[in-house]
Amino acid sequence: MMNYQTLISLEVIFQVLSSPTRMQILELLASGTRCVNCIAEETELNQPTISQHLRVLRMAGLVTTEKEGKFVHCSVCKETLEMVADYLRDLAERTGECSSEKHECKIDEAAK
């Protein structure tokens, strides 16, 4: 089982990934580094909107940026994606088929 701090990090990442636009940006960046203007052009969204989404992705550790002159180049942070994938893989491996196994519930008589 992961420590609580890691679970909090994963919660933030999953919240960030709940946006279709941010998922679309990650899809684009998975095939290679792009500048903000290219992302805006490929997603057909304006640059301020893309910058806002990139800020959220950066804060979650999913994207890194590097400024070169007047351009900002964005890349996926593979380490963060691998952490998420490892968590989901581990969870899937520990889960039974359709998670149908039931544990016996007991009432704590002292708590009554």
65 in a domain, yes or no? yes
What pLDDT does 105 receive?
Answer: 79
Number of neighbours of residue 76 by Cβ within 10 angstroms: 20
104 in a domain, yes or no? no
Cβ(34)–Cβ(26) below 8 Å:
no
101 in a domain, yes or no? no
49 in a domain, yes or no? yes
100 in a domain, yes or no? no
106 in a domain, yes or no? no
What pLDDT does 100 receive?
Answer: 64
Picking from 50, 54, 59, 51, the residue whose alpha carbon sits closest to that of residue 13 is: 59
3-state secondary structure of 101: coil
Number of domains in the chain: 1
Report the CATH number at residue 72: 1.10.10.10
Instruction: Answer whether residue 110 shows pLDDT above 80.
Output: no
* Mean pLDDT of all residues in 92-99: 76
- Enter the pTM of the model: 0.81
What pLDDT does 112 receive?
Answer: 58
Residue 28 sits at the vertex; the CA angle it makes with 64 and 66, to the nearest 5 degrees, is: 25
Least confident span in 9-18, 49-58, 82-91, 101-110: 101-110
* Mean pLDDT of all residues in 78-104: 84
CA distance 10 to 81: 10
* Percent residues over pLDDT 90 in the chain: 77
Query: Residues 8-63: pLDDT tens digits?
Result: 999 999 999 999 999 999 999 999 999 999 999 999 999 999 999 999 999 999 99
Number of neighbours of residue 74 by Cβ within 10 angstroms: 21
Residue span of the structural domain in which 30 resides: 4-94
110 in a domain, yes or no? no
CA distance 36 to 19: 18
105 in a domain, yes or no? no
Cβ(87)–Cβ(80) below 8 Å:
no
